[in-house]
């Protein structure tokens, strides 16, 4: 965990009844100071109870709900003047959603931005975890469209609350059992349900299964923000994150044998398919983490410079 | 009775409406109603007590409205009770009144301490889940995490309850009534609970189907050594499955004894009427 | 590389913004004045204030202009603006008996206490599309206005005969029904502070104030749909209710002065208020009496206030037995629903790649077995 960051969050979560209006830096991070503190308190609760979905009074943000408003609120609540921010969508710093959110964060805080995790402290992401190993310096902020992992088996929110409270996840297991019986394989795709710290089942946003093992016993803090559904949850560093799977049915990540990035040649990163077109002929693969791919190319051909 | 019981129920009572004990005075078999004219409440059950030993099946017989299902639901935790105590030998060696447990602990008893077979299979099963999946729900609740072993155990249970294995992966909603009841039995027995409550387990089934299910239940009770409470309005069911029984009328137990004796020589006029009707 | 170009990126976004700015602000027609929208498109402005949860006609008009007329988008602009503002004070509770009515109707009685005051409404006018040009429409309107002026000399200028001050603050029907002991008393002590939906997530089981606040800010169409679904659709938890009061009027807003400690008026808001009389017929209900549902929202929006009052009493009677409360709390917010729907337009190629991989896995399994 970035201990300094968590300490900052704690420091900034104290009640501010005694603060004079002059102390409110309303502009930094867009949100008013009261809102930031409320969000920080929710974050602290989430860190203290790993995997528990903490309700919070989600603010309306200058991005639509479903477009990263939860992640953005977390970023703006924890960001300090010394942070460097990286924002990705689908692994890509140039994705439209990433560009939009990065502009908001940078313009409302004045902090520097970066595309390399090495130089960043806050990484807000939609659907991916960067390929580079992250560590104590990093806080990963994941945008969550649907935070409730059990919604597929239960719709009634009162019953859902009970199931989480009693760690009653039998019906989730039944759904996995039925899936395996019906299809021969577990067909869950992204957002794979995981048991955190042996207690709460979470939805791992829609990150691919490829990224799920990297949440387990990670060195970094992961914060999950669902703005529309008004929930924040966390995976603190060095915490167990186990994908729900049967002992004799191995958890499978997305691997297509023989697939290689057309740009950097990697077969060790999460690849996305570029479908065949009439003009280009056969389909091919590219890294989803665009910045990692760029640096991978650079490593191989230091003289070539960087492709646009 | 000695200490050899798996389930002990004492002074169990349930009043619907305001809890005013004056309702006890103008209700019951002698008055001929469960509804109190004084308070407007319904005394669905009062002062019900019995013990069931491992391997024993106790019958609770009465007409509909007699309070027998209320008793079962209060023991199971599906309904809250107004008064009484319920002990399970498997819980704190029978020293904790499970009615005092918080709702969450109470529900947890249903995993492995206490199973229920309902008259309506839809209450005990998920109709949109396969037969195997329904059993998997009971097993995974008890911590089973090995797919192959869950499959094997489910198959074994379905075999024991005489459900064709070819139907194991079919949705229970596509099953006949008798077959659903067999799946419900398989699910109830999945974690080998020491106590099983059966509420009218064959009511609503065709006579020939019911006879088959009854046979199966009798065999299962003998084989497993489970303590069973069988709730029924039908003396034929009670006679076939139980050795002892209690007769309920307007919320109270009016007679208790060995099932054979009760059928031969009922003492209470209401029991006599019930037996007479069954023999007619 | 075709793929890289399809990523969008900063340049594409900036180009999109320029296109919007050019078409929205420039073009042949004159700048759309806020005053014009507030006066001529008042129902749209009112709706945006209601769904945006902020009373400010000028800001709402600006939002509506920036959103090119999309009321949900305008409400979003208003609400996210509001998120940046510090909360300076809470208003003191308003007594809705202080509502000065501009319109008030009581369908439940022919001669209710106080007036039936139709006010500014098209309810009783033929819905005929006026295709006349501006000059013709102006001439007609001027004639009608002159008639109003004339009658103002004999009445009070509102086109009605409610001369007495009491007619502007009429006694409400509910009070009469209470006097007649015809309604159950549902006043509760367990929900004293209104639930603040902007600060806490309202989730079932919720307090009545949480439900009312959610409905007051709900998207009008969504709330009307939940209402109608419950009349006609599969849910069916609603009666057709008799309306006791439908009011549109002005309410004073007061706060406690931070220095003097006195209550001071800081302005007024226009609201629509509805009381809906429900026939109690349930087995466990007081069937000799009625119950009353309540609706109140910003601006002139009778559809919303009526749906709200109906759903309020329906929730109360349902007592958490059905999904009604969950539907109201979770599915009626315009920003939630439209935001989630619109996010489907964002890139989803990582998730789709994962789905493709599983489809291949299923097919492979099928081929092997």
Share of chain B above pLDDT 70, in %: 99
Q: How much is the pLDDT for A16?
A: 45
Q: Are A91 and A128 in contact (CB under 8 A)?
A: yes
Q: Which residues fall within 8 angstroms of residue B207, CB to CB, at 6 or more apart?
A: none
C78 and C109 belong to one structural domain: no
C111 and C252 belong to one structural domain: yes
**Are C86 and A34 within 8 A, CB to CB?**
yes
Kindly state whether A171 is in contact with chain B, defined as any CB-CB distance less than 8 angstroms. yes
Task: For residue range A189-217, list pLDDT tens digits in order.
Answer: 999 999 999 999 999 989 999 999 999 99
C68 and C16 belong to one structural domain: yes
C314 and C242 belong to one structural domain: yes
Separate counts of helices (H) and strands (E) for chain B? 10, 9
Pairing between β-strand A200-203 and β-strand A241-243 as defined by DSSP bridges: unpaired
- C278: helix, strand or coil: strand
Tell me: cis bond preceding C289? Omega within 30 of 0 counts.
no
Residue of chain C with shortest Cα separation from A127: C350
- Residue C30 is given by DSSP the state P
**Are B145 and A246 within 8 A, CB to CB?**
yes
Q: Which residues fall within 8 angstroms of residue C71, CB to CB, at 6 or more apart?
A: C44, C47, C48, C51, C64, C334
**Are A38 and C199 within 8 A, CB to CB?**
yes
Of the candidates C82, C109, C129, which is a domain's last residue?
Answer: C82
Q: How much is the pLDDT for C46?
A: 98
Distance, in Å, from the CA atom of A243 to the CA atom of B75, rounded to the nearest integer, reads 37
Distance, in Å, from the CA atom of A76 to the CA atom of A57, rounded to the nearest integer, reads 15
Substitution target from B105, B145, B153, B190 for chain A, most A beta carbons within 10 A: B145
- Residue B256 is given by DSSP the state E
Quote the minimal CA–CA distance from C287 to chain A in Å.
Answer: 30
Mean pLDDT of chain C: 89
- Within a domain: residue C364? no
Substitution target from C353, C361, C366 for chain A, most A beta carbons within 10 A: C353
Q: Are C64 and C74 in contact (CB under 8 A)?
A: yes
Q: Look-up: residue for tokens 């103002």?
A: C152
Closest CA to C274 of C229, C253, C304, C314: C304
In degrees rounded to 5, what are phi and psi of residue B235?
-60, -30
pLDDT > 60? residue C155:
no
State both tokens at B184. 């419900």
Distance, in Å, from the CA atom of C47 to the CA atom of C216, rounded to the nearest integer, reads 11
Mean pLDDT of C312-332: 92
Substitution target from B139, B142, B150, B183 for chain A, most A beta carbons within 10 A: B150
Q: How much is the pLDDT for A12?
A: 57
- Within a domain: residue C185? yes
C202 and C324 belong to one structural domain: yes
Using alpha carbons, list the distances in angstroms from residue B214 to B194, B211, C37: 20, 5, 77
pLDDT > 50? residue B85:
yes
* CATH class for the region spanning A3-147+203-243: alpha beta
In degrees rounded to 5, what are phi and psi of residue A127?
75, 0
Quote the minimal CA–CA distance from A15 to chain C in Å.
Answer: 15
- Specify the number of domains making up chain C: 2
State both tokens at C307. 């749906």
C110 and C43 belong to one structural domain: no
Quote the minimal CA–CA distance from A146 to chain C in Å.
Answer: 10
Handedness of CA B171, B174, B178, B180 (dihedral sign): positive
Task: For residue range A105-142, list pLDDT tens digits in order.
Answer: 999 999 999 999 999 999 999 999 999 999 999 999 99
Q: Which of B114-118, C28-32, C157-161 has the lowest mean pLDDT?
A: C157-161
Mean pLDDT of C250-276: 94
pTM, entire model? 0.90
pLDDT > 60? residue C161:
no
Structural domain boundaries in chain A:
3-147+203-243, 256-301
Q: How much is the pLDDT for B2?
A: 53
- Residue A134 is given by DSSP the state P
Q: Which of A184, A188, A256 sits opposite C369 (nearest CB)?
A: A184
Mean pLDDT of C44-62: 97
Using alpha carbons, list the distances in angstroms from residue C229 to A275, C279, C305, C312, C330: 43, 19, 17, 15, 15
Distance, in Å, from the CA atom of A13 to the CA atom of A7, rounded to the nearest integer, reads 10
State both tokens at A147. 């935070």
**Are B169 and A165 within 8 A, CB to CB?**
no
- Identify all chain A residues contacting C356, using CB atoms and an 8 Å cutoff: 273
Q: How much is the pLDDT for C163?
A: 52
Kindly state whether C343 is in contact with chain A, defined as any CB-CB distance less than 8 angstroms. yes
Mean pLDDT of C152-172: 63
- B198: helix, strand or coil: strand
Q: How much is the pLDDT for C159?
A: 47
Q: Which chains touch C (3 or more CB pairs under 8 A)?
A: A
Q: How much is the pLDDT for A2?
A: 45
Supply the range of the domain harboring residue C307: 96-121+161-332
**Are B137 and A174 within 8 A, CB to CB?**
yes
- A273: helix, strand or coil: strand
- Within a domain: residue C197? yes
Size of interface A-C (CB pairs under 8 A): 173
Pairing between β-strand A193-196 and β-strand A200-203 as defined by DSSP bridges: antiparallel
Quote the minimal CA–CA distance from A41 to chain C in Å.
Answer: 13
Task: For residue range C185-241, list pLDDT tens digits in order.
Answer: 888 788 788 999 988 999 999 999 999 999 999 999 999 999 999 888 776 767 778
pLDDT band at A20 (very low <50, low <70, confident <90, very high): very low
Tell me which of A303 and C93 has the higher pLDDT: C93
Could you count the other beta carbons within 10 Å of the beta carbon of residue C223?
31
C191 and C322 belong to one structural domain: yes
In degrees rounded to 5, what are phi and psi of residue A143?
-80, 130
Closest CA to C272 of C87, C59, C96: C96
C24 and C104 belong to one structural domain: no
pLDDT > 70? residue C165:
no
Pairing between β-strand A221-226 and β-strand A139-143 as defined by DSSP bridges: parallel
- Within a domain: residue C284? yes
- Residue C60 is given by DSSP the state H
Residue of chain B with shortest Cα separation from A182: B169
Q: How much is the pLDDT for A8?
A: 59
C111 and C63 belong to one structural domain: no
Q: How much is the pLDDT for C164?
A: 59
Task: For residue range B214-229, list pLDDT tens digits in order.
Answer: 999 999 999 999 999 9
pLDDT > 50? residue C2:
no
Residues of A carrying an active site annotation: 51, 261, 264, 287, 293
Q: Max Cα separation, chain B?
A: 60
Quote the minimal CA–CA distance from B140 to chain A in Å.
Answer: 5
Distance, in Å, from the CA atom of A158 to the CA atom of A160, rounded to the nearest integer, reads 5
Q: Are B174 and B125 in contact (CB under 8 A)?
A: no
C214 and C324 belong to one structural domain: yes
Mean pLDDT of chain A: 89
C184 and C326 belong to one structural domain: yes
Q: How much is the pLDDT for A30?
A: 86
- Identify all chain A residues contacting C353, using CB atoms and an 8 Å cutoff: 208, 254, 271-273, 288
Q: Which chains touch B (3 or more CB pairs under 8 A)?
A: A
Using alpha carbons, list the distances in angstroms from residue C85 to A25, A26, B86, C82, C88: 11, 8, 58, 5, 9
Mean pLDDT of C315-320: 89
Task: For residue range B218-259, list pLDDT tens digits in order.
Answer: 999 999 999 999 999 998 999 999 999 999 999 999 999 999
- B221: helix, strand or coil: helix
Residue of chain B with shortest Cα separation from A175: B133
State both tokens at C207. 């307090």
Task: For residue range B45-72, list pLDDT tens digits in order.
Answer: 999 999 999 999 999 999 988 999 999 9
pLDDT > 50? residue A1:
no
Query: B110-122 burial by CB neighbour count: b if 16+ within 10 A, else e?
Result: bbbbbbbbbbebe
pLDDT band at C89 (very low <50, low <70, confident <90, very high): confident
- Residue A133 is given by DSSP the state P
C303 and C173 belong to one structural domain: yes
**Are A55 and C323 within 8 A, CB to CB?**
no
- With a CB-CB cutoff of 8 Å, which residues 235-264 of chain A face chain B? 246-249
């Amino acid at each position: 965990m970035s201990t300094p960051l968590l300490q900052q969050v704690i420091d900034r979560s104290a009640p501010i009844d005694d603060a004079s209006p002059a102390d409110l830096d309303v502009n930094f991070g867009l949100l008013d100071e009261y809102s930031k503190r409320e969000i920080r308190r929710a974050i602290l609760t989430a860190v203290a109870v790993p995997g528990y979905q903490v309700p919070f009074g989600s603010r309306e943000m200058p991005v639509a709900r479903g477009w990263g408003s939860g992640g953005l609120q977390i970023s703006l609540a924890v960001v300090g003047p010394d942070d460097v921010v990286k924002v990705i969508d689908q692994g890509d710093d140039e994705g439209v959603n990433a560009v939009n959110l990065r502009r908001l964060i940078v313009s409302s805080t004045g902090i520097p931005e970066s595309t390399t995790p090495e130089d960043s402290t806050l990484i807000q992401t939609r659907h991916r975890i960067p390929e580079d190993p992250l560590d104590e310096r990093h806080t990963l902020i994941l945008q969550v469209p649907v935070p409730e992992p059990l919604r597929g088996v239960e719709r009634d929110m009162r019953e859902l609350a009970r199931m989480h409270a009693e760690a009653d996840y039998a019906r989730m297991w039944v759904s996995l059992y039925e899936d395996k019986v019906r299809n021969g394989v577990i067909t869950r795709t992204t957002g794979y349900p995981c048991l955190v710290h042996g207690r709460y089942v979470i939805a791992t946003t829609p990150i691919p299964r490829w990224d799920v093992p990297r949440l387990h016993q990670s060195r970094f803090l992961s914060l999950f923000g669902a703005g529309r559904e008004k929930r924040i949850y966390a995976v603190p560093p060095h915490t167990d994150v186990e994908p729900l799977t049967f002992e004799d049915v191995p958890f499978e990540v997305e691997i297509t044998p023989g697939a290689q990035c057309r740009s950097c040649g990697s077969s060790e990163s999460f690849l996305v398919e570029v479908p065949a077109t009439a003009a280009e002929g056969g389909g091919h693969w590219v890294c989803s983490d665009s910045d990692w791919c760029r640096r991978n190319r650079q490593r191989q051909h230091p003289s070539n410079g960087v492709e646009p | 009775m000695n200490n050899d019981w798996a389930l002990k129920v004492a002074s169990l009572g349930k009043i619907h409406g305001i809890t005013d004990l004056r309702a006890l005075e103008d209700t019951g078999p002698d008055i001929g109603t469960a509804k109190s004219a004084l308070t407007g409440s319904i005394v669905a059950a009062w002062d019900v007590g019995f013990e069931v030993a491992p391997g024993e099946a106790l019958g609770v017989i009465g007409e509909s409205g007699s309070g027998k299902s209320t008793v079962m639901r209060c023991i199971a935790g599906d309904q809250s009770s107004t008064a009484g105590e319920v002990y399970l030998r498997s819980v704190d060696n029978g020293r904790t009144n499970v009615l005092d447990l918080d709702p969450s602990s109470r529900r947890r008893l249903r995993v492995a301490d206490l199973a229920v077979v309902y008259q309506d299979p839809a209450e005990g099963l998920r109709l949109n889940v396969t037969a195997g999946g329904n059993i998997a729900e009971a097993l995974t609740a008890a911590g089973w995490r090995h797919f192959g072993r869950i499959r094997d155990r489910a198959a074994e249970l379905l075999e024991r309850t005489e459900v064709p294995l070819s139907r194991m992966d079919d949705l229970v909603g596509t099953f006949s009534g008798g077959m659903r009841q067999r799946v419900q039995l398989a699910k109830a027995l999945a974690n080998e609970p020491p106590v099983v409550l059966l509420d009218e387990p064959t009511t609503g089934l065709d006579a020939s189907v019911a006879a088959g299910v009854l046979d199966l239940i009798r065999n299962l009770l003998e084989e497993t050594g489970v303590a069973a409470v069988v709730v029924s309005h039908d003396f034929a069911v009670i006679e076939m499955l139980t050795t002892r029984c209690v007769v309920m009328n307007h919320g109270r137990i009016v007679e208790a004894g060995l099932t054979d004796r009760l059928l031969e020589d009922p003492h209470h006029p209401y029991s006599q009427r019930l037996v007479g009707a069954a023999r007619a | 590389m075709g793929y890289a170009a399809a990523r969008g990126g900063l340049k594409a976004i900036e180009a999109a913004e320029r296109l919007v700015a050019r078409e929205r602000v420039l073009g042949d027609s004159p700048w759309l004045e806020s005053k014009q929208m507030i006066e001529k498109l008042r129902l749209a402005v009112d709706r945006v204030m209601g769904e945006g949860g902020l009373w400010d006609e000028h800001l709402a008009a600006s939002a509506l202009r920036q959103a090119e007329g999309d009321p949900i988008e305008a409400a979003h602009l208003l609400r996210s603006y509001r998120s940046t503002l510090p909360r300076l004070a809470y208003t003191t509770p308003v007594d809705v008996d202080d509502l000065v009515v501009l319109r008030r109707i009581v369908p439940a009685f022919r001669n209710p206490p106080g007036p039936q005051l139709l006010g500014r409404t098209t309810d009783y006018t033929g819905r005929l599309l006026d295709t006349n040009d501006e000059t013709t429409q102006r001439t007609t309107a001027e004639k009608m206005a002159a008639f109003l002026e004339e009658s103002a000399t004999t009445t009070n200028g509102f086109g009605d005969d409610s001369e007495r001050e009491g007619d502007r603050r009429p006694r409400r029907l509910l009070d009469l029904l209470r006097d007649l002991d015809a309604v159950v008393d549902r006043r509760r002590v367990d929900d004293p502070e209104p639930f603040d939906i902007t600060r806490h997530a309202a989730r079932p089981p919720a307090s009545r104030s949480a439900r009312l606040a959610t409905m007051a800010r709900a998207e009008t169409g969504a709330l009307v749909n939940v209402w109608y679904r419950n009349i006609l659709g599969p849910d069916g938890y609603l009666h057709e209710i008799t309306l006791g009061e439908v009011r549109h009027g002005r309410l004073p807003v007061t706060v406690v002065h931070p220095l003097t400690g006195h209550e001071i008026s800081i302005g007024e808001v226009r609201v629509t208020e509805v009381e809906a009389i429900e026939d109690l017929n349930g087995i466990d209900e007081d069937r000799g009496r009625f119950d009353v549902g309540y609706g109140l929202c910003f601006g002139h929006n009778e559809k919303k206030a009526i749906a709200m009052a109906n759903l309020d009493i329906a929730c109360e009677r349902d007592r958490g037995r059905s999904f009604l409360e969950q539907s109201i709390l979770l599915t009626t917010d315009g920003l939630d629903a439209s935001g989630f729907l619109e996010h489907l337009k964002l890139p989803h190629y990582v998730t789709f790649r994962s789905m493709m991989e599983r489809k291949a896995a299923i097919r492979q399994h099928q081929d092997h077995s």
